[in-house]
Homo-oligomer: A and B are copies of this chain.
Amino acid sequence: MSKKTASEEKLDPRVKRTRALIEQAFMALLAEKGFSSITVQDITQRAEVNRATFYAHFADKYALLEAAIQHAFRLALEKRTLNACHFSEANLRALVVTVCEFISQSDAHCKTCDSQFETLVEKEVRRQIQELVELWLEQIGSEIDLKTAATAASWTIYGLALQWSREKGKPRPKAEQFAEQILPLVAVYFKPREVSKTAQG
């Protein structure tokens, strides 16, 4: 328990402070206006940090958003103890629910979700989904090529979750119900080596 996450390793307290200030200011701004209309100036001004200092920590505002999303989604996974666990149908359901809720919370938290914002969310979240799915598949050994299965599964999960989060007309089902519905579409990729015919349907 002595070693925290890599991102929490012993750091100069000034660095921790500065980053925290920047991230806080950034989050606050996201709640007020769209990502593309947020400038580095806005951020550093609200964070009460010099603008040059910002660039000592992040290449640009896109890097900041990426880091923020990475951190936030990791937390979302940990909330359901999906960080480093084994595969099970329950965990797969939990993963889908996590992604659904993360996307809709992102939308809710941000005043104007521009496409740049959504795009970066997608990229980072899908990356983490794939990472986890690969881990699962390594453990159970997949019927088809591992990389292929992981790719197909992660893209399908993210795509469907995104579609769910955008259903406006009809009142959409709860995330749990939705996960249950699409489970058969995703579970295909987690069949271990034994061929079990089509007796399951």
Contact = CB atoms under 8 A, between A and B. Distances in A.
Interface in A160-185: 160, 162-163, 182, 185
Contacts of A188: 188
A128 interface: no
A160 B148 contact: yes
A190 interface: no
A192 interface: no
B185 A152 contact: yes
Interface residues of A, number: 21
A119 B160 CA distance: 18
Nearest to A167: B147
A2 interface: no
Contacts of A160: 148, 151-152, 155
A194 B166 CA distance: 30
A151 B123 contact: no
Minimum-distance CB pairs A-B, first 3: A155-B159, A155-B155, A151-B163
Interface of A: 115, 119, 123, 144, 147-148, 151-152, 154-156, 158-160, 162-163, 182, 185, 188, 197-198
5 contacts: A148-B182, A152-B182, A155-B155, A155-B156, A156-B159
Given A144-B185, A148-B185, A188-B188, 14 more contacts: A119-B119, A119-B123, A147-B163, A148-B160, A148-B182, A151-B159, A152-B160, A152-B182, A154-B159, A155-B158, A155-B159, A156-B156, A197-B198, A198-B198
